[in-house]
C-alpha cells in the first residue's frame, strides 16, 4: 500500500507534465522515422534521460544503505569514461571485442571508485556527503590528467552506434542500454537478497548485524554498484557525444540524481526504498527540462523555474500535506457515507 | 485528597483505518491524585493520552481541563493549557546543561540571561528536591535524575495535570523510589498525575485510583486500595487468570544429564565482561540474574558474538568452534532475541513478513532468496502459531503493539529452529497476557528439547521458568542456584554475599 502511494506522486506529476505539453501542441506524441529509427518527443526523453536513470538506480541503493548521498557521481562517470577512452585507444582496434573489453575496464574503474567511497563511509564512518566530497573536488582534474590534458575525440563506428542507432534497430541504443540495466537490476532484486539486506541495514544497522548481515559489506556493495552505474552512464555519455569533455561531462548530474531519488518518494535519510519511484523520478526531471525548453524558457532561467517546481513537488509529497489530505478525505467520506461502526479492539484479523 | 476535578474526558472516541481505538471512553482526574491508566497493549492507553495532548484529533467526545472545555491541537497547546507530558524516552538534550534543558525553547526575548536562568533553575531543582546542579551537563546525571528534570520542566510550565508515560521502565529500584517521592510531593501540591505503566506493583505503591481500559473501551474506574491485585489483572485481561500459577506446574524438574548443547570457557568480550564459564544442556532452561549493570546482558551477548569476542573457547555439542560473528552463532544453532527490541530487534519500516524471515533468510544466503510464496507461508504459519495480532503480514512491524512486535522477533528465531535460544528480556514493556504466553512458550520449547536462556528483570518470571539461575554481580558470576534454592530470598542473598571484584 505504502509503495503504491510512493509511486503515485511522481506518476501524477508525470501525467501533469504530459498534459501541459499536449496543451502546447498535440504533436507531443508524434514519432517520426528517420533513417529507420524512431525520433520524436518520447524517444528523445528516453534517450536524454538514460544516464540519469542509471545513476539514480545506484543512488537509490546508496541512499538506502548509508542514509546519505554520493555527490561524486558525475566525477566517477567522468573518470571511468576517461579510462574507457584510454583503454580503447591503447587496444587500438575498432572491433566489438575491443569496445567490450574497454567497457569492462570502464566498469572496473567505476567499481574501484565506488569501493573507495564505500570504504570511507562504511569502514571509517565518514558522512557520505563528506566522504564523496573528495572525489567531487578532485574527480574532474583526475579525468583531465587521464585524458592527457586534452578532450579526446572518439572516432569509432561502434561507439557511435552505441551512442546513436544500430542500423536495422528502430530504437536508439542508449534507450536499449538503459532498459537492459533496469532489467538486470530487476533480476538482481529477484534472485538475490540485495533489497532486503540494503533496507535492513538502512533502517536498523544494529538489528541487521544481530541477524547476521554485515553492514560494512552491504554499504560498500551499494557504493560499488553505484560506481558501476556511474561508469555505464559515463560510457553512454561519451558514446553519445563522440568526445570526452572532462569539464562538462554529466555536469551537475549528482543533484538531479539525488532529486530523482527524492521525487520517487524515497527518504534521503535512507531505509526503505522504491526503485520504480526513483526511475520515474529521473524521467520526470528529464521531461521537466524539456517542457521548460519547449515553452521557451531561456536556458539560463530554467534552473530557477525548475527550483520553483521542485519546491511544490516536495511540499506536495511531504508528510504534512499528505496527512492533511488524508484527514480531508476521511472527513469527506464520513460526511457522505455513514461508516458502519466496526467492532473495536486491536485484533483486525487472523484470529 | 482534594475533590476538585482537574480533567474530565467524556465519551471519547477515536478510530484509525480498520480499528476503533477508543470507543466512548470516560476518564476523570481529580486534583491532587495519582491516577493509574492501565490496560494491555492495544487497550487504548496511549491513544487516550495522545487525544488529550492533541497529537490525535478525537472523532467524538469532550475534554475539559479545570472545568473549561478545551480542544488542544498540538502538545505545545496542551502544555500551554496546563497539561504537561513526560514520555518514556527522555526527550531532553544530553549535551547541554540542566538549566538550559529546563528553559530551552521557552525564552520570550532573544537574549539569554544566564545568571537569571541558572538561579531560577536552582530554585526549581531545590523546591522539587532534585539532586542536580543547574550548570551540570544533563548527560552526567543518572537516568532517574534526567527523568525528574523532564518532570521539572513539564511542571515549571505551570501544569496542573502531569502525564507520566511509562516513566519507570528504564529506572532501577532506587531510582524508582526517588521518582515516587517526587510524584508524592507534586500530588501534595494539588497536581493531578496520570501514571501509565506496565508494572502492577508500582501502581499499587503510588496510585489513588486506577482506570482500566480494554480493547478501546472503558472497563471501569477503581479506588486502588479497594482493588485486589489479581482482580485488576483479570479486569485487564478480560478473563480470570490462574494461568500464571499454571506455569509453575509446567516446569518439570530436569535431571541434569542431557548432553551439553553449548559450553564456554573463559569467554569474554569487549563490552567488559570478565571471563566466565557457562554451559547449557539439551532441554534446559536457565537464566542470568543480577542487578542492572551486573553484566548479565553482556554475558549472553558474548555467547552470540553480538559484541566483539576477546577470548575464550566455545564448544557446540562437544565440537570446538570459533564464534566471532552473529552469523556463525546462528549457523551453529543459536538464536538471540536482544534486550532492546526497538534498537536491536525490529526493522521498523519492513513488513511483519520480512521481519519474520530475516534471520533464516540470512542463514540461507544472499544469493538464495525465498520466493514470495515461501516467505508468505512462513509468516502466516508463525502469525497463527504465536497469535500475532496484525492487519496482515504486509503491515510494517512498527505499527504493531510492543507485545506483538516482540512475538514477531520471537517468530524470527523460532523459524530458524535453533538448538539454543537466548531470550534477553523478552517480556519487558509488554502486557501481562503476552508475558504469560511467552513464559509458557519457553517451557513448551524446552520440553520439546530446545535449550533456552531466559533473562528477565522480574525475578519471579525467572524463578517460574528456569531450573538453574546464574547470579551475576559487577560483571562476574557470583553464584549458581538450582532446585530448592530458587527463591527470591536466595537470589538476593547471593547477590548481597557475592564477592565484588572491585571491593
Helix, strand, or coil (residue B215):
coil
Q: Which of A154-168, A198-212, B116-130, B242-256 has the lowest mean pLDDT?
A: B242-256
- Cβ separation B362–A206 shorter than 8 A: no
- Torsion of the alpha carbons at B338, B340, B345 and B347, rounded to the nearest 10: -170
Q: Which of A120-124, A255-259, B406-410, B482-486 has the lowest mean pLDDT?
A: B482-486
The pLDDT of residue A138 is 94
A201/chain B closest Cα distance in angstroms: 9
User: Does a structural domain hold residue A37?
Assistant: yes
Domains of chain B in sequence order: 5-241 (3.40.50.300), 245-250+259-331+461-503 (3.40.50.300)
* Residue A70: domain span: 2-296
Residue in the structure block whose three cell numbers are 538486470: A184
A chain contacts of residue B350, beta-carbon cutoff 8 Å: 196, 199-200, 203, 272
Contact B409, B388 (CB under 8 A): no
Q: Which of A160, A300, A186 is nearest to A240 (CA)?
A: A160
- Least CB-CB distance to B327: which of A207, A212, A344? A212
Bigger pLDDT: B238 or B462? B462
- Cβ separation A343–B20 shorter than 8 A: yes
Using a CB–CB cutoff of 8 Å, tell me whether A349 touches chain B: yes
Bigger pLDDT: A1 or A122? A122
Q: Which residues pair with A37 in a beta bridge?
A: A34
pTM above 0.80, yes or no: no
User: Does a structural domain hold residue A214?
Assistant: yes
Contact A277, A263 (CB under 8 A): yes
Q: CA-nearest residue of chain A to B337?
A: A210
Taking 50 as the threshold, does the pLDDT of residue A345 lie above it?
Answer: no
Taking 80 as the threshold, does the pLDDT of residue A123 lie above it?
Answer: yes
A261-308 pLDDT, tens digit per residue, is 988 888 888 999 999 999 999 999 999 888 888 888 888 888 888 888
Q: Pairing relation of β-strands B451-455 and B285-289?
A: parallel
> Mutate which of B369, B397, B406, B421 to disrupt the A interface (most A C-beta within 10 Å)?
B369
B chain contacts of residue A199, beta-carbon cutoff 8 Å: 347, 349-350
User: Does a structural domain hold residue A69?
Assistant: yes
Taking 50 as the threshold, does the pLDDT of residue B369 lie above it?
Answer: yes
CA dist A270 and A261 (Å) reads 10
Give the confidence band of B18 by pLDDT, cuts at 50, 70, 90.
Answer: low
Residue in the structure block whose three cell numbers are 538482481: A188
Give the confidence band of B499 by pLDDT, cuts at 50, 70, 90.
Answer: low
Helix, strand, or coil (residue B267):
strand
- Cβ separation B401–A346 shorter than 8 A: yes
Q: Which of A334-348, B202-216, B326-340, B398-412 has the lowest mean pLDDT?
A: A334-348
Q: Which DSSP string do the residues of A173-217 spell out, in sequence order?
A: HHHHHHHHHHHHHHHHHHHSSHHHHHHHHHH-HHHHHHTT--HHH
User: Does a structural domain hold residue A85?
Assistant: yes
Bigger pLDDT: A18 or A211? A211
User: Does a structural domain hold residue A130?
Assistant: yes
pLDDT, chain A, mean: 88
CATH number, domain with residue A242: 1.10.3470
User: Does a structural domain hold residue A133?
Assistant: yes
The pLDDT of residue B292 is 65
Give the residue-averaged pLDDT of A148-153.
88
CA dist A115 and A121 (Å) reads 10
Bigger pLDDT: B291 or A70? A70
CA dist A245 and A250 (Å) reads 9
Q: Which DSSP string do the residues of B181-197 spell out, in sequence order?
A: HHHHHHHHTT-EEEEE-
The pLDDT of residue B252 is 54
User: Does a structural domain hold residue A242?
Assistant: yes
Taking 70 as the threshold, does the pLDDT of residue A1 lie above it?
Answer: no
Taking 70 as the threshold, does the pLDDT of residue B500 lie above it?
Answer: no
pLDDT, chain B, mean: 85
User: Does a structural domain hold residue A308?
Assistant: no
- Least CB-CB distance to B345: which of A191, A207, A344? A207
Q: Which of A88-97, A231-240, B13-22 has the lowest mean pLDDT?
A: B13-22
Give the residue-averaged pLDDT of B341-360.
94
Structurally, chain A folds into a number of domains equal to: 1
- Cβ separation A206–B216 shorter than 8 A: no
Bigger pLDDT: B169 or A21? A21
A248/chain B closest Cα distance in angstroms: 39
- Cβ separation A346–B215 shorter than 8 A: yes
Give the confidence band of B147 by pLDDT, cuts at 50, 70, 90.
Answer: confident
What is the H or E stretch that residue B276 is in?
strand B276-281
C-alpha Rg value of chain A to the nearest Å: 22
Bigger pLDDT: B131 or A180? A180
CB atoms within 10 A of CB B272: 11
The pLDDT of residue A10 is 76
Cβ-in-10-Å burial (0-12, 13-18, 19+) of A141 comes to middle
Cell numbers of A205, please? Answer: 544497522
Give the residue-averaged pLDDT of A313-341.
71
B44/chain A closest Cα distance in angstroms: 9
The pLDDT of residue B256 is 63
Amino acid at each position: 500500500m505504502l509503495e503504491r502511494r510512493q509511486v503515485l506522486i511522481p506518476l501524477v506529476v508525470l501525467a501533469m507534465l504530459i498534459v501541459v505539453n499536449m496543451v502546447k501542441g498535440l504533436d507531443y506524441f508524434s514519432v517520426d522515422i528517420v533513417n529507420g529509427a524512431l525520433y520524436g518527443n518520447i524517444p528523445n526523453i528516453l534517450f536524454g534521460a538514460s544516464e540519469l536513470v542509471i545513476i539514480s538506480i545506484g543512488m537509490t541503493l546508496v541512499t538506502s544503505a548509508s542514509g546519505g548521498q554520493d555527490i561524486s557521481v558525475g566525477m566517477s562517470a567522468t573518470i571511468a569514461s576517461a579510462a574507457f577512452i584510454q583503454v580503447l585507444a591503447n587496444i587500438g582496434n575498432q572491433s566489438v571485442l575491443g569496445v567490450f573489453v574497454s567497457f569492462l575496464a570502464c566498469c572496473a574503474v567505476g567499481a574501484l571508485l565506488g569501493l573507495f567511497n564505500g570504504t570511507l563511509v562504511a569502514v571509517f564512518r565518514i558522512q557520505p556527503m563528506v566522504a564523496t566530497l573528495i572525489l567531487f573536488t578532485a574527480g574532474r582534474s583526475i579525468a583531465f590528467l587521464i585524458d592527457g590534458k586534452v578532450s579526446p575525440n572518439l572516432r569509432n563506428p561502434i561507439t557511435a552506434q552505441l551512442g546513436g542507432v544500430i542500423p536495422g534497430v528502430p530504437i536508439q541504443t542508449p534507450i536499449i542500454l538503459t532498459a537492459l540495466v533496469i532489467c538486470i537490476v530487476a533480476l538482481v532484486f529477484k534472485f538475490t537478497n540485495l533489497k532486503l539486506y540494503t533496507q535492513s541495514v538502512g533502517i536498523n544497522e544494529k538489528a541487521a548485524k544481530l541477524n547476521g548481515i554485515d553492514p560494512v559489506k552491504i554499504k560498500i556493495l551499494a557504493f560499488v554498484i553505484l560506481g558501476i552505474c556511474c561508469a555505464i552512464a559515463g560510457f553512454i555519455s561519451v558514446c553519445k557525444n563522440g568526445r570526452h569533455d572532462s569539464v562538462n561531462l554529466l555536469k551537475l548530474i549528482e543533484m538531479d540524481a539525488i532529486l530523482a531519488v527524492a521525487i520517487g518518494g524515497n527518504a534521503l535519510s535512507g531505509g526503505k526504498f522504491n526503485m520504480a519511484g526513483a526511475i520515474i523520478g529521473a524521467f520526470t526531471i528529464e521531461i521537466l527540462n524539456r517542457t521548460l525548453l519547449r515553452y521557451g524558457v531561456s536556458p539560463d532561467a530554467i534552473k530557477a523555474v525548475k527550483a520553483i517546481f521542485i519546491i511544490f513537488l516536495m511540499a506536495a509529497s511531504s508528510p504534512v500535506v499528505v496527512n492533511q489530505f488524508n484527514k480531508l478525505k476521511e472527513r469527506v467520506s464520513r460526511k457522505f457515507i455513514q461508516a458502519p461502526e466496526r467492532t473495536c479492539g486491536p485484533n483486525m484479523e487472523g484470529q | 485528597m482534594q475533590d476538585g476535578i482537574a480533567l474530565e474526558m467524556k465519551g471519547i472516541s477515536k478510530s484509525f483505518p480498520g480499528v476503533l481505538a477508543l470507543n466512548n471512553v470516560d476518564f476523570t482526574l481529580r486534583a491532587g491524585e495519582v491516577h493509574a491508566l492501565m490496560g494491555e497493549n492495544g487497550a487504548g492507553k496511549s491513544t487516550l493520552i495522545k487525544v488529550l495532548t492533541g497529537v490525535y484529533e478525537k472523532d467524538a467526545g469532550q475534554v475539559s481541563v479545570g472545568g473549561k472545555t478545551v480542544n488542544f491541537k498540538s502538545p505545545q497547546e496542551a502544555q500551554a493549557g496546563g497539561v504537561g507530558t513526560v514520555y518514556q524516552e527522555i526527550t531532553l538534550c544530553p549535551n547541554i546543561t540542566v538549566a538550559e534543558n529546563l528553559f530551552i525553547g521557552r525564552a520570550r526575548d532573544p537574549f539569554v540571561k544566564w545568571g537569571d536562568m541558572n538561579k531560577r533553575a536552582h530554585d526549581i531543582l531545590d523546591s522539587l528536591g532534585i539532586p542536580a546542579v543547574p550548570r551540570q551537563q544533563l548527560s552526567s546525571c543518572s537516568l532517574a535524575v534526567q527523568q525528574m528534570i523532564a518532570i521539572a520542566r513539564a511542571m515549571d510550565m505551570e501544569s496542573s495535570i502531569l502525564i507520566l508515560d511509562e516513566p519507570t521502565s528504564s529506572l532501577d529500584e532506587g531510582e524508582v523510589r526517588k521518582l515516587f517521592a517526587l510524584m508524592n510531593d507534586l500530588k501534595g501540591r494539588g497536581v493531578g498525575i496520570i501514571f501509565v505503566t506496565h508494572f502492577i506493583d508500582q501502581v499499587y505503591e503510588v496510585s489513588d485510583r486506577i482506570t482500566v481500559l480494554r480493547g478501546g473501551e472503558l472497563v471501569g474506574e477503581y479506588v486502588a486500595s479497594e482493588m485486589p491485585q489479581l482482580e485488576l489483572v483479570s479486569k485487564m485481561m478480560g478473563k480470570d487468570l490462574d494461568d500464571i500459577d499454571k506455569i509453575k506446574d509446567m516446569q518439570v524438574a530436569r535431571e541434569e544429564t542431557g548432553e551439553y548443547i553449548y559450553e564456554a570457557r573463559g569467554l569474554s568480550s569487549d563490552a567488559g565482561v570478565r571471563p566466565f564459564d557457562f554451559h547449557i544442556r539439551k532441554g534446559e532452561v536457565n537464566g542470568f540474574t543480577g542487578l542492572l549493570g551486573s553484566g548479565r546482558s553482556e554475558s549472553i551477548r558474548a555467547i552470540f558474538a553480538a559484541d566483539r569476542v576477546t577470548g575464550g573457547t566455545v564448544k557446540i555439542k562437544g565440537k570446538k568452534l570459533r564464534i566471532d560473528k552473529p552469523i556463525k552463532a546462528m549457523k551453529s544453532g543459536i538464536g538471540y532475541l536482544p534486550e532492546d527490541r526497538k534498537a536491536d530487534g525490529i526493522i521498523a519500516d519492513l513488513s511483519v513478513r520480512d521481519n519474520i524471515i530475516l534471520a533464516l533468510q540470512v542463514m540461507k544466503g544472499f544469493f538464495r532468496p525465498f520466493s514470495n510464496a515461501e516467505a508468505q507461508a512462513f509468516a502466516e504459519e508463525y502469525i497463527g502459531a504465536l497469535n500475532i495480532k496484525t492487519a496482515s503480514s504486509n503491515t510494517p512491524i512498527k505499527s504493531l503493539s510492543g507485545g506483538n512486535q516482540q512475538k514477531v522477533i520471537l517468530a524470527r528465531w523460532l523459524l530458524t529452529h535453533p538448538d539454543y535460544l537466548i531470550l534477553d528480556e523478552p517480556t519487558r514493556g509488554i502486557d501481562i497476557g503476552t508475558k504469560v504466553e511467552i513464559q509458557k512458550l519457553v517451557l513448551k520449547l524446552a520440553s520439546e528439547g530446545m535449550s533456552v536462556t531466559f533473562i528477565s528483570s522480574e525475578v519471579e518470571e525467572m524463578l517460574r521458568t528456569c531450573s538453574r539461575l546464574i547470579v551475576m554481580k559487577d560483571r562476574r558470576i557470583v553464584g549458581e542456584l538450582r532446585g530448592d534454592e530458587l527463591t527470591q530470598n536466595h537470589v538476593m542473598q547471593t547477590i548481597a554475599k557475592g564477592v565484588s571484584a572491585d571491593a
